[in-house]
Amino acid sequence: MNATAGRKPVHLAVYDTFADWETGHATAHLARSGHEIRTAGPSTAPVTSIGGLRVRPDLALDDVRPEDSSLLILPGADLWDTSDDLAPFARTARAFLAAGVPVAAICGATAGLAREGLLDDRAHTSAVSFYLAATGYAGGEHYVETDSVTDAGLVTAGPTEPVAFAREILRLLGVYEGEVLDAWYRLFHDSDASAYAVLEKAGAL
Residues 34-45: pLDDT tens digits?
999 999 999 999
Instruction: Work out the mean pLDDT of the chain and round it to a whole number.
Output: 95
Read off the pTM: 0.95
Catalytic residue among 107, 113, 114, 187: 107
Residues 120-139 have pLDDT tens digits of: 999 999 999 999 999 999 99
pLDDT confidence of residue 1: 35
**Where does residue 38 rank: exposed (0-12), middle (13-18), buried (19+ CB within 10 A)?**
middle
pLDDT band at 203 (very low <50, low <70, confident <90, very high): confident
What is the pLDDT confidence band of residue 3, given thresholds at 50, 70 and 90? very low
pLDDT at residue 205, as a whole number: 79
Q: Is 107 a catalytic residue?
A: yes
Query: How far is residue 47's CA from residue 59's CA, in Å, rounded to a whole number?
Result: 12
Integer Cα distance of 96 and 67 in angstroms: 8
Cα Rg of the chain (Å, integer): 16
